[in-house]
Amino acid sequence: MKIQDRFGSYLNLEFLKPREKFLVLGLSPQRTTAALLGLDDDKKITLEKFWDDFSLKGLQAHSIQQLKKRKLIVSADPALTTTVSVPVELARRAEDAANPIVLEEIETLLAQAMGRLFIAERAAAAKRLGGSDLDTILVNAKTGHWKIDRHAVMNPEGFTGKKIEAVLDLTFTTRGIFEWLKPFFNAREGFFFTETPRAGLQTLLRFEEAPLALIEISAEGSVLFMIEKTAWGTAVVRENVGWPMRTLFERITEAVPTSREVVLELYDRHLRGEMAEHAHRAFTKIMKPELDAFLARVGKSKLKGRAYLHSPLPLPVALPFKEGRVELGEIPLASVLAKSGFFIDAKDWPFAAADIFMTLAPFLEFYYDKSGSEVNNKLRRRVHWLIQ
């Protein structure tokens, strides 16, 4: 927006455009990252600040208060959080069946269903996270896949019928994470919690067709998130692949005994094609058993179709790479942004494209979820109340 002043010049008032503010925390067993994001009316996402190793201990009280004014989005590693999808049937009272369904009735029926399911689903989540039931905390709930008397609908409000069906997604985390996040639970703008790879897959599914999957590779293990057909339609499911990327570097170190820094430099030179031909061949031979082990694990999984890879460092394979019924590819950041209508200035983001995507994916999941359903907003508020 520009206005002409009395001297005939133009004042650029772009800075006066309203901008939504977000704080995206990325939790992993090793560290926590934090990204301050701004979103303007033109759907430009700006990275205002980034912490590679974020800690509340170093922040003063007024700084925490300023961060709490942001819309808070927490995105956690699969080792720290899990989401359980549960189909539920919500039987209406006989005398209400002929009346249109209202939001308050849905909220009450969902709350009753959550009460019935909570203990069993928390136990399942605790087993997956490797902790006790009492140290497993519900931090988010959302619902979808609505049906009224077996007929699929986008939103049940306003319909009549005897029975409502839906799928509840309940997200749990560890008590340690919950306690660490307590300063933000009373944030003015609310609280959204998700699994990082799940958010990535949900974002990809908005712009690409299934079958589709995302493999999150880490130093300690790899987890596969994919779409699976269920009795109620489709659901995001996770499967442990189990291959830890650190074994690749352990094998290199065994063959070339040297420091971690030198191993990483050699690996980087190999990826960039800056090794002599004989050294490149030798390095490839050293790594081949571990790459074969990774591909074998993927081959034994339920995966089929396209799978996008996200890892701390690129794997030494040219993508796309086809292995049996699976095609592995690079995360299509540019395509997702173009199709979504959002855009960024890439030079302001000091990451590789895949890491930019995984930073943005939790924000995009929240953005689309926020715009979709008041029911989910009420569910989040109920979770917020339950954990006080």
Who's near 116: CB < 8 A, 6+ residues apart?
A: none
Q: How many CB atoms lie within 10 A of CB 285?
A: 10
Domain assignment present for 374: no
Any idea which of 39-53, 275-289, 364-378 has the lowest mean pLDDT? 364-378
Is residue 214 one of the residues assigned to a domain? yes
The string of pLDDT tens digits covering residues 271-294 is 999 999 999 999 999 999 999 999
DSSP H helical segments within the chain, as ranges? 61-68, 103-129, 175-181, 196-205, 246-255, 260-272, 277-300, 333-340, 353-370, 374-386
Predicted local distance difference test score (pLDDT) of residue 345: 92
Which residue range(s) make up the domain with 264?
209-331
In this prediction, residue 323 has a pLDDT band, given cuts at 50, 70 and 90, of confident
**Residues 6 or more apart from 119 whose CB is under 8 A from it?**
133
Give residue for tokens 């591909």. Answer: 295
Q: How confident is the model over 8-22, as a mean pLDDT?
A: 54
* pTM for the structure as a whole: 0.84
210 — pLDDT class (breaks 50, 70, 90): confident
Query: 128-178 pLDDT, tens per residue?
Result: 999 999 999 998 888 888 999 999 988 888 999 999 999 988 999 999 888
At residue 13 the predicted structure's pLDDT band, cuts being 50, 70 and 90, is very low
| Cβ atoms of residues 182 and 81 within 8 Å | no
Tally of domains in the chain: 1
Query: Of 77-91, 224-238, 244-258, which gets the smallest average pLDDT?
Result: 224-238
Which of residues 212 and 190 earns the better pLDDT score?
Answer: 212
Unique residue bearing structure tokens 């203990």? 119
Question: Which is higher by pLDDT, 121 or 12?
Answer: 121
Instruction: Kindly list the distances between the CA atom of residue 115 and the CA atoms of 54, 121, 246, in Å, as whole numbers in the listed order.
Output: 35, 10, 42
At residue 265, φ and ψ (nearest 5 deg) are -65, -45
Rounded distance between C-alpha atoms, residue 266 and residue 268, angstroms: 5
Share above pLDDT 90 across residues of the chain, in percent, rounded to a whole number: 49
Amino acid identity, position 176: G
Q: Is the predicted pLDDT of residue 377 greater than 80, yes or no? A: no
Q: What is the pLDDT of residue 371?
A: 45
Per-residue pLDDT at 126: 94
Looking up tokens 């095609």 gives 327
Per DSSP, 343 falls in state: B
Confirm whether 356 is domain-assigned: no
pLDDT digits over 50-103, tens only?
A: 998 887 665 555 566 666 677 889 999 999 999 988 899 999 999 988 999 998
pLDDT at 179 (0 to 100): 86
Domain presence at residue 86: no
Inform me whether the pLDDT recorded for 182 exceeds 50.
Answer: yes
What does the pLDDT look like over 304-321, one tens digit per residue? 888 999 998 899 988 888
Q: What are phi and psi of 30, to 5 degrees?
A: -85, -40
Measured distance CA(46)–CA(349) in Å, rounded: 9
Q: Would 381 be classed as within a structural domain?
A: no
**171 with 81: CB under 8 angstroms?**
yes
Q: Does residue 282 sit within a domain?
A: yes
Q: Kindly tell me the sign of the dihedral angle through the C-alpha atoms of 126, 73, 77, 341.
A: positive
pLDDT over 50 (residue 3): no
Q: Is the pLDDT of residue 5 over 70?
A: no
Backbone angles phi, psi at 188, to 5 degrees: -60, -35
Domain harbouring 237, CATH code: 3.30.420.40
Q: Hey, is 348 helix, strand or coil?
A: helix
Distance CA 42, CA 40 (A): 5
How far is the C-alpha of 239 from the C-alpha of 245, rounded, in Å? 17
Residue 384 has pLDDT above 90, yes or no: no
**Within 13 A of 299's CA, how many CA atoms are on the CB side?**
10
All residues at 6 or more sequence positions from 115 whose CB lies less than 8 Å from its CB, including other chains:
none
Left, alpha or beta for 276 (phi > 0: left; psi -120 to 50: alpha)?
beta
The answer to whether residue 378 scores a pLDDT higher than 80 is no
| CA contacts within 13 A on the Cβ side of 241 | 28
> Residue 56 has what pLDDT?
64
Instruction: Give me the residue label for tokens 């170093």.
Output: 58
- Identify whether 251 is part of a domain: yes
* Start-to-end CA span in the chain (Å): 44
**Structural domain includes residue 310:** yes
